[in-house]
A and B are shown apart, each in its own frame.
Chain A
Amino acid sequence: MALTHTRGSEAERSASLPDAVPEAVPDRPVAHSAVVAGLEPVAPTDAEAPSAVRTRRWTARPLGVGVVGLWLSVIVLLPLAALAATSLEGGAGGFVAAVSEPGARAALWVTVWVSAVVAVLNAVMGTLIAWVLVRDEFPGKRVVNALIDLPFALPTIVASIVLLSLYGPSSPVGIHLNATQPGLLVALAFVTLPFVVRSVQPVLLELDRDVEEAAASLGASNRTTFRRVVLPTLAPAILGGAGLAFARAIGEYGSVVLIGGNIPKKTQVASQYIQQQVETDQPVNAAAVSVVLLLIAFATLFVLRWAAGRGRAREVSS
């Protein structure tokens, strides 16, 4: 990773400026995250290294490629192909009919809408939590930090029971979210909490304080500094975290199964609709909605990769 951008930096080295002589790797601590590490200039002495890397890449052992290809086929590609085939058993018309059934459309709409709100909510709250965990000192900080991962570790059905006992019909706090869309929202926000926090935290840790001080010395208020200097640096991490949270939320089943109430056209999410179709022996409907979910997840990941690639292209010489 660090080697790939040495080639591009050769052009400017020929400039007739005082420092045309290449510099050594700066004596800064080595960054942990790959993206951040890529920002530092690299000693030009290894200018021939990229070609070496490329040669090695092309001569990757055929056995390794074969094993990986087989494994991915068995685990990922074949099941997906089978799913797509099932969804098209009734032809293209059957697929469209299955997807445009009112129950299917409503379930997909609720899923996407609630997941999008959850993603936005996560982007804001996750960034705030990461900020507090990195920049502020308070008693119990380590406990809070450990707590963030709990929704990951907890079986999602347990999350659903917890939320049901707190916000269900016999709520001790008098808040009843059982079988409502806000109930879905809370459940999905709970299970997707770590994504943004854990993607923003390392970037924030690597963020140099002197960049903020530089902005201050140039006359920028704290708000301007945050908006124009800090936020753009965090943006790829926030976007990445929110995207993963969204992708996770659209497929979520366990955490919404109890508190959601599974009311068709109201709180029934796509995964519940799919299960219902399977149980009523309509596999084509189930497969068709599954394919749509798959496409949405795929599109999300694609957009994320594109955005991340654009961010990197700016920060690493091309």
Chain B
Amino acid sequence: MITVSGARKSYGDFTALDDVSLEIPPGSLTALLGPSGSGKSTLLRAIAGLETLDSGRVAIAGVDVTGLPPQKRGIGFVFQHYAAFKHMTVRDNVAFGLTIRRKPKAQVRAKVDELLEIVGLEGFQHRYPSQLSGGQRQRMALARALAVDPEVLLLDEPFGALDAKVRADLRRWLRRLHDEVHVTTVLVTHDQEEALDVADRIAVLNKGGIEQVGNPVDLYDRPANDFVMSFLGSVARLGGLLVRPHDIELSRDRAAAVAADRSVPGSPGVIDAVVERVVRLGFEVRVELRAHTGERFAAQLTRAEADALALRPGDEVHARARQTQDVLEVDPALAI
């Protein structure tokens, strides 16, 4: 359990955290999601004690740690660029937190062996970090952080330096690890897919404040405002309203589209548009359109739908929203 209350932090004129309060339930895996400069990393580092707050308090497991240095907060921290101790072997890296506490050698050995097995690095204990791939280094860093039995595990863009495939594999692996280890985990990311994939709670940050906190499904289906909606998943602007691209239905028959549209509350109506481009992305097809009003938007269709319509650039179609979301507009510049 982590409680942050009234956290403020600024660097000169830049406000990194503007009165942020957040509660992270014990045993959860929470993602702090936001664009760069949203304050997500500052918030994580403030929880770790690597950053001192201008005002506000941080409590971990019921203990107020606001005035404590990182050494005494009972945390494990994983950095984007691994922060490996390059002159030590994998074993010594993982054992570091225990050796400096002068734990008995046999105990350290057993614990390190156990952790290396959990992170799948058994057999690598005598290697140096430079002899590992990026993903292996990050798993070593994770084992090192877990070795001290931290109250909370804090991950700062842990997969940011890895390529897309490794990143996807590693975050699924992290999810499974969390299900085994159950330590309260906070993960900072700017990648909405990553947040949706691993986290059971997401806090969306923007400009030093929290926009919305909730489980991934709630945030996706019921975003509190247009920022959350556009940051979590893609959006299209249809007749002045924000719509998910996969909620846009295209039809060649205007009368049928108008008839179907009647049952949709708050609908923007049927929009006549011209197909500009059809992009096949594996099983889905993105259709880029230009409305007669000049507005451009994209619809996301399944392959079957696209094949049935046999769309070609220049074709005239009629677009409607299957459902709309009643979102609060905080920033009209956001929807693209």
Interface residues of A (CB under 8 A from B): 5, 8-9, 12-13, 15, 17-19, 21-24, 26-28, 38-39, 41, 208, 210-211, 213-221, 224, 228-229, 232-233, 311, 314-318
Decide if B48 is an interface residue (CB 8 Å cutoff).
yes
In chain B, residues 55-87, which have Cβ atoms closer than 8 Å to a Cβ of chain A? 69-72, 75-77, 79, 81, 83-87
Picked from B48, B128, B166, the residue with its CB within 8 Å of the CB of A217 is B48
Asked if A233 and B86 sit within 8 Å, CB to CB, the answer is yes
Interface size class of chain B, counting residues whose CB lies under 8 Å from the partner chain: 35 or more
Q: CA–CA, A214 to B143, complex, Å?
A: 13
Q: CA–CA, A217 to B154, complex, Å?
A: 10
Q: CA–CA, A215 to B147, complex, Å?
A: 13
Q: CA–CA, A179 to B83, complex, Å?
A: 51
Task: Return chain A residues, CB-CB under 8 Å to B166.
Answer: 18-19, 21, 23
Asked if B79 and A39 sit within 8 Å, CB to CB, the answer is no
Q: CA–CA, A17 to B147, complex, Å?
A: 21
- Residue of B77, B133, B139 with most chain A CB atoms under a 10 A cut-off: B133
Q: CA–CA, A23 to B71, complex, Å?
A: 32
CB distance from B314 to the nearest CB of A (A): 39
Q: CA–CA, A8 to B151, complex, Å?
A: 38
Nearest-neighbor residue (CB-CB) of B173 within chain A: A18
Task: Return chain B residues, CB-CB under 8 Å to A41.
Answer: 130, 133-134
CB distance from B132 to the nearest CB of A (A): 7
One of B20-28, B94-102, B205-213, B275-283 contacting the partner: B94-102
Nearest-neighbor residue (CB-CB) of B171 within chain A: A18
Q: CA–CA, A224 to B85, complex, Å?
A: 13
Complex interface bits, B105-131 against A, C-beta within 8 A gives 1, otherwise 0: 000000000000000100010011011
Asked if B83 and A214 sit within 8 Å, CB to CB, the answer is yes
Q: CA–CA, A211 to B172, complex, Å?
A: 26
Decide if B136 is an interface residue (CB 8 Å cutoff).
yes
Task: Return chain B residues, CB-CB under 8 Å to A5.
Answer: 130
Task: Return chain A residues, CB-CB under 8 Å to B258.
Answer: none
Decide if B291 is an interface residue (CB 8 Å cutoff).
no
Using A18-B169, A219-B100, A317-B131 as known contacts, say yes or no to A232 and B161 having CB atoms under 8 A apart.
Answer: no
Give 16 A-B pairs besides A208-B83, A218-B76 with Cβ atoms closer than 8 angstroms: A12-B132, A19-B134, A22-B133, A23-B135, A23-B163, A27-B161, A211-B85, A213-B50, A213-B83, A217-B76, A217-B77, A218-B147, A219-B71, A228-B96, A315-B130, A317-B128
CB distance from B139 to the nearest CB of A (A): 8
Asked if B97 and A39 sit within 8 Å, CB to CB, the answer is no
Complex interface bits, B166-199 against A, C-beta within 8 A gives 1, otherwise 0: 1001101100000000000000000000000000
Asked if A220 and B71 sit within 8 Å, CB to CB, the answer is yes
Task: Return chain B residues, CB-CB under 8 Å to A21.
Answer: 163, 165-166, 169
Nearest-neighbor residue (CB-CB) of A316 within chain B: B130
Q: CA–CA, A18 to B134, complex, Å?
A: 11
Nearest-neighbor residue (CB-CB) of A26 within chain B: B161
Task: Return chain B residues, CB-CB under 8 Å to A28.
Answer: 81, 161
Asked if A17 and B97 sit within 8 Å, CB to CB, the answer is no
Decide if B250 is an interface residue (CB 8 Å cutoff).
no
Interface residues of B (CB under 8 A from A): 48, 50, 69-72, 75-77, 79, 81, 83-87, 96-97, 100-101, 120, 124, 127-128, 130-136, 139, 141, 144-145, 147-148, 161-163, 165-166, 169-170, 172-173
Asked if B163 and A208 sit within 8 Å, CB to CB, the answer is no
Mostly, the A contact residues are loop
What are the nearest 10 A-B pairs in CB distance? A19-B135, A18-B169, A218-B97, A217-B77, A214-B83, A317-B131, A19-B166, A210-B83, A23-B134, A232-B87
Asked if B162 and A219 sit within 8 Å, CB to CB, the answer is no
Task: Return chain B residues, CB-CB under 8 Å to A12.
Answer: 124, 127, 131-133, 136
CB distance from A217 to the nearest CB of B (A): 4
CB distance from B154 to the nearest CB of A (A): 8
Nearest-neighbor residue (CB-CB) of B71 within chain A: A219
Task: Return chain B residues, CB-CB under 8 Å to A232.
Answer: 87
Nearest-neighbor residue (CB-CB) of B87 within chain A: A232
Nearest-neighbor residue (CB-CB) of A13 within chain B: B133
CB distance from A25 to the nearest CB of B (A): 9
CB distance from A111 to the nearest CB of B (A): 34
Q: CA–CA, A314 to B161, complex, Å?
A: 23
Nearest-neighbor residue (CB-CB) of A220 within chain B: B100
Task: Return chain B residues, CB-CB under 8 Å to A317.
Answer: 128, 130-131
Nearest-neighbor residue (CB-CB) of B74 within chain A: A219
Q: List 8 A-B residue pairs with CB atoms under 8 Å apart, sorted by A's residue number.
A: A12-B127, A12-B133, A19-B162, A22-B163, A39-B130, A210-B79, A218-B100, A218-B145
Nearest-neighbor residue (CB-CB) of B97 within chain A: A218
CB distance from B230 to the nearest CB of A (A): 25
CB distance from A137 to the nearest CB of B (A): 15
CB distance from A13 to the nearest CB of B (A): 6
Asked if B145 and A217 sit within 8 Å, CB to CB, the answer is yes
Asked if B81 and A229 sit within 8 Å, CB to CB, the answer is no
Task: Return chain B residues, CB-CB under 8 Å to A318.
Answer: 131
CB distance from B217 to the nearest CB of A (A): 26
CB distance from A11 to the nearest CB of B (A): 9
Using A28-B161, A217-B50, A224-B100 as known contacts, say yes or no to A19 and B133 having CB atoms under 8 A apart.
Answer: yes
CB distance from A49 to the nearest CB of B (A): 18
CB distance from B85 to the nearest CB of A (A): 6
Q: CA–CA, A144 to B50, complex, Å?
A: 31
Task: Return chain B residues, CB-CB under 8 Å to A219.
Answer: 71-72, 97, 100-101, 148
- Residue of B75, B87, B120, B124 with most chain A CB atoms under a 10 A cut-off: B87
Asked if A216 and B71 sit within 8 Å, CB to CB, the answer is yes
Task: Return chain A residues, CB-CB under 8 Å to B128.
Answer: 314-315, 317
CB distance from B127 to the nearest CB of A (A): 8
